[in-house]
């Protein structure tokens, strides 16, 4: 008869490591009276068995710093998109009389636990998770019964517990961009995505393929390139395509990579928009500053932040029986400028929000 798999626990980790439960507990809290080698062993074992620290968190709303904003460390170093979201959250919380702290998430399991311990002991009442962070870390937060809301992150199929989220309707926005390029008569649209598997990349690919298909335009896999979301990534992607002699007459990417792409096109002797029409996605300030001014799919990032704060504060007033889980989706708009070669400067429309219960 097959034995039942044991549930991850301090007892199981202690047995596997040959240590006491107290030592395991201290190692998971990263206490200094545990040797580095023992801590490393405990963390590796905890990660292997999928251990998630549990315990009902009880924060006090009266604390002036009782909210946390968490995001990937890479975003804090070079990402221009999330700055407006972070500022929007901070400003909205301030309007309600609250402050917040910032925390960055790395890639190591031990870093997840250390940050969770810091958030727990700070008296944090609620947590904003911006962009994608590792699923394992989100599970730890949910297991600790924090009020968590995702901003610009639609969630992950591997999350077992329900969640709240505020995000952009990226598929709709990408359709606006590609459809506009096709209306201008372009048929060889180069798509520069971010990294493979990222939710934003997946949304852009879905809209790109569906829109081309609806126009009965052949999809050339050579015109789909993956990069890193940043300026130099767009620059290198265009250089790669030009060197490979793959023809294209339009380009679609996020704003940062589109700006890098324009520089690469100029160096190659190609004019924007005469030779190549370019459209970005995000609506960053740099999109209006580049030459020619970049046509872009604009996301109301501050509006997304305000909705996130409103939803998280509402979660605190909901009893367990009445607690709701929602995904609030904001629709972007297409802002037409010089880089695409359209005859008019803007397209009517405004951001809207759609709410659906998960």
Same-domain status, 246 and 339: yes
Looking at residue 345, its pLDDT comes to: 35
Write out the residue range of the structural domain in which residue 290 sits: 170-300+334-353
E runs forming strands in 159-245: 164-168, 189-193, 224-226
User: Is residue 3 over pLDDT 70?
Assistant: no
Per residue in 186-237, pLDDT tens? 999 999 999 999 999 999 999 999 999 999 999 999 999 999 999 999 999 9
Averaged pLDDT for residues 44-72: 69
C-alpha to C-alpha distance for 296 and 281, rounded to whole angstroms: 5
CB 103 within 8 A of CB 72: no
CA atoms within 13 A of residue 170's CA, in its CB half-sphere: 21
Of the CA atoms within 13 Å of residue 21, those in its CB half-sphere come to 5
Domain check: are 110 and 151 in the same one? yes
pLDDT surpasses 60 at 133: yes
- Residue 4 belongs to a domain: no
pTM, rounded to two decimals: 0.79
pLDDT at 319: 56
The DSSP code for 230 is S
59-82 pLDDT, tens digit per residue, is 444 444 578 888 887 665 556 788
> Quick one: pLDDT at residue 213?
98
With respect to residue 5, please indicate whether it lies within any of the assigned structural domains. Answer: no
Domain match, 202 and 268 both = yes
Predicted pLDDT of residue 74: 67
CATH code of 106's domain: 3.40.50.2300
Confidence of residue 49 (pLDDT cuts 50, 70, 90): confident
Q: Would you say 226 and 254 are in contact if contact means Cβ atoms under 8 Å apart?
A: no
Q: Which of 57-61, 132-136, 168-172 has the lowest mean pLDDT?
A: 57-61
Residues 296, 310, single domain; the answer is: no
In this structure, is the dihedral angle defined by the CA atoms of residues 346, 350, 351 and 353, taken in order, positive or negative?
Answer: negative
Is pLDDT at 318 greater than 90 in this prediction?
Answer: no
Half-sphere exposure of 132 (CA within 13 A, CB side): 14
Average pLDDT over every residue of 166-176: 97
Assigned domain for 23 exists: yes
What is the count of structural domains for the chain? 3
| Domain membership flag for residue 123 | yes
Same domain, 239 and 343: yes
Do 16 and 89 have their domain in common? no
Across the range 30-40, mean pLDDT stands at 85
Question: Same domain for 142 and 186?
Answer: no
pLDDT of residue 108: 77
What average pLDDT does the structure give for the chain?
85
User: Cα(260)–Cα(146) distance, rounded to whole angstroms?
Assistant: 40
Q: Do residues 285 and 83 lie in contact, with contact meaning Cβ atoms separated by under 8 Å?
A: no
Domain-embedded: residue 60: no
Residues 204 and 256 in one domain: yes
Percent of the chain whose pLDDT exceeds 90:
50
Q: Is residue 177 part of a domain?
A: yes
Distance in angstroms (rounded) separating the CA atoms of residues 67 and 102: 9
Share of the chain above pLDDT 70, in %: 87
DSSP letter at 291 equals S
DSSP-derived 3-state class of residue 251: strand
Q: Does 267 fall in a domain?
A: yes
Residue 149 and residue 193 in one domain: no
| Average pLDDT value for residue range 231-259 | 97
Assess whether pLDDT exceeds 90 at residue 238: yes
In a domain, 153, yes or no: yes
Model confidence at 357, in pLDDT bands (50, 70, 90)?
very low
**Same-domain pairing of 134 and 274:** no
94 and 26 share a domain?
A: no
Query: Which pLDDT value is given to residue 78?
Result: 58
What does the pLDDT read at residue 65?
Answer: 53
Q: What is the pLDDT of residue 61?
A: 43
- Over residues 265-279, mean pLDDT: 97
Do 210 and 152 belong to one domain? no
pLDDT over threshold 90, residue 169: yes
Query: Could you tell me which of 118, 113, 130 has the C-alpha nearest to residue 75?
Result: 130
Name the one residue in this structure whose structure tokens are 């958030």: 119
């Amino acid at each position: 008869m097959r034995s039942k798999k044991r549930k991850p626990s301090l007892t199981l980790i202690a047995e596997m490591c040959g240590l006491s439960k107290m030592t395991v507990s201290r190692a998971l809290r990263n206490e200094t009276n545990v040797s580095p080698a023992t801590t490393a062993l405990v963390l590796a074992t905890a990660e292997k068995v999928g251990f998630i620290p549990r315990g009902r968190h009880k924060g006090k709303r009266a604390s002036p710093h009782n909210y946390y904003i968490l995001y990937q460390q890479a975003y804090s170093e070079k990402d221009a998109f999330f700055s407006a979201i972070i500022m929007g959250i901070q400003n909205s919380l301030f309007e309600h009389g609250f402050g917040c702290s910032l925390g960055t998430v790395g890639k190591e399991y031990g870093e997840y636990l250390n940050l969770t311990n810091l958030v727990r002991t700070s008296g944090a009442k609620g947590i904003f998770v911006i962009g994608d962070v590792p699923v394992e870390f989100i599970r730890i937060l949910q297991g600790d019964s924090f009020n968590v809301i995702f901003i610009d992150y639609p969630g992950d199929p591997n999350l077992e517990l329900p969640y709240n989220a505020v995000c952009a309707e990226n598929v709709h926005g990408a359709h606006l961009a590609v459809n506009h390029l096709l209306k201008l008569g372009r048929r060889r649209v180069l798509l520069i995505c971010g990294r493979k598997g990222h939710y934003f990349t997946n949304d852009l690919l879905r809209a790109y393929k569906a829109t081309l298909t609806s126009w009965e335009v052949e999809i050339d896999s050579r015109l789909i390139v993956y990069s890193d979301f940043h300026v130099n990534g767009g620059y290198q992607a265009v250089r790669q395509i030009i060197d490979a002699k793959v023809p294209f007459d339009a380009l679609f990417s996020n704003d940062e990579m589109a700006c890098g792409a324009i520089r690469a096109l100029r160096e190659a002797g190609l004019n924007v928009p005469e030779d190549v029409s370019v459209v970005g996605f995000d609506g960053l300030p740099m999109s209006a500053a580049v030459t020619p001014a970049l046509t872009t799919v604009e996301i109301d990032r501050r509006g997304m932040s305000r909705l996130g704060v409103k939803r998280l504060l509402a979660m605190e007033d909901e009893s367990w029986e009445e607690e709701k889980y929602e995904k609030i989706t904001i629709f972007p708009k297409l802002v037409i400028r010089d880089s695409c070669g359209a005859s008019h400067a803007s397209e009517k429309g405004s951001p809207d929000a759609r709410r659906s219960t998960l």
